[in-house]
């Protein structure tokens, strides 16, 4: 249990912001879970809403201290220029309670803190590439922009595609207010072109399939929304999937993981030329993935 007193500097702010500042290892999902369970007391009364707090309020947070420990950070590869991390689910890439924040603490003595070169959704696990110096960061951002780095994902979908491999083209619109994207087969005002490629790795008896997915354009929620658009939602996806299917398979998070990064430099990469044609893969068994 955590016992806190609201100081004057936090007067008249929301409870979640106060807790994020005062409990360093807590995250927003944990806070709302505590609220749903009424495991937070303010001045002796249990609350289930993100209310505004006032100075001198007494707050009790009923949480196991062990659950506040940072997630274990699994390194896939590291040298003097890059770092590849296997990101767990339920953590953002950037922000106060993010993977990058944890890594910066691990490298607190370093002259340059590792910086992410791309992103993953909070509830998508897998490989994230970090640059350990400014020169590497500039090179890698340029290589991603010029599509000289491949990102491959494993996705467990509902359905069995007729075509073993396919390159999909469509158009995506991002609604920032709703934190959601929409897909169109035809160009529209405000929509940007997206390209998603998939290859069927395994078809299962329960009408599910495991896909290798590669994105040539890295837009928000692209894989999740694009696959759902063509009728093959990712199992466990609460935003673009189907609740009935998610409940059937008892999945709370999308079955999507970034499992391979491959460097295909077409132009000079300076200090990173040694990475050309190399690939780094997350050690994952397809059968364990579909049943995890």
Alpha-carbon distance 242 to 220, whole Å?
19
For 206-272, the DSSP string reads: TSEEEEEEEESS--TTHHHHHHHHTT-PBTT-TTTS-HHHHHHTT-SS--EEEEEEEE--SS--GGG
End-to-end CA distance of the chain: 31
Measured in degrees and rounded to the nearest 5, phi and psi for residue 121 equal -60, 155
For residue 121, indicate whether it is catalytic: yes
Of 7, 21, 13, 10, nearest to 56 by C-alpha is 7
| 103: phi then psi, degrees, rounded to nearest 5 | -65, -40
User: Annotated catalytic residue: which of 86, 121, 212, 237?
Assistant: 121
What three-state secondary structure class fits 170? strand
Instruction: Supply the residues annotated as catalytic.
Output: 121
């Amino acid at each position: 249990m955590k016992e806190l007193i609201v100081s004057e500097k936090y007067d008249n702010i929301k409870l979640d912001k106060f807790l994020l500042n005062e409990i360093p290892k807590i995250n927003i999902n944990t806070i709302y879970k505590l609220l749903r369970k009424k495991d937070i007391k303010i001045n002796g009364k249990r609350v289930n809403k993100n209310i505004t707090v006032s100075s001198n309020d007494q707050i009790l947070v009923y949480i196991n201290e062990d659950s506040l420990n940072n997630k274990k950070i699994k390194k896939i590869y590291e040298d003097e220029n890059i770092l590849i991390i296997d990101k767990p689910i339920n953590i953002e890439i950037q922000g106060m309670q993010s993977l990058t924040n944890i890594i910066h603490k691990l490298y607190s003595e370093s002259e340059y803190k590792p910086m992410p070169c791309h992103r993953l959704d909070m509830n998508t696990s897998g490989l994230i590439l970090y640059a350990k110096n400014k020169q590497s960061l500039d090179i890698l951002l340029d290589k991603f922009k010029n599509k000289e780095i491949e990102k491959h994902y494993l996705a467990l979908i509902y359905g069995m595609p007729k075509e073993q491999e396919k390159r999909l083209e469509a158009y995506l619109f991002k609604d920032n207010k709703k934190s959601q994207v929409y897909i169109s087969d035809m160009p529209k005002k405000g929509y940007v072109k997206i390209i998603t490629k998939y290859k069927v790795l395994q078809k299962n008896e329960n009408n599910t399939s495991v896909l290798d997915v590669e994105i040539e354009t890295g837009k928000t929620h692209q894989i999740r929304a694009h696959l759902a658009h063509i009728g093959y939602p990712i199992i466990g996806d609460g935003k673009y999937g189907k609740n009935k299917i998610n409940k059937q398979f008892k999945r709370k998070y999308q079955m999507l993981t970034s499992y391979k990064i491959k460097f295909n430099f077409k132009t000079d990469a300076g200090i990173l030329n040694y990475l050309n044609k190399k690939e780094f893969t997350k050690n994952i068994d397809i059968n364990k993935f579909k049943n995890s």
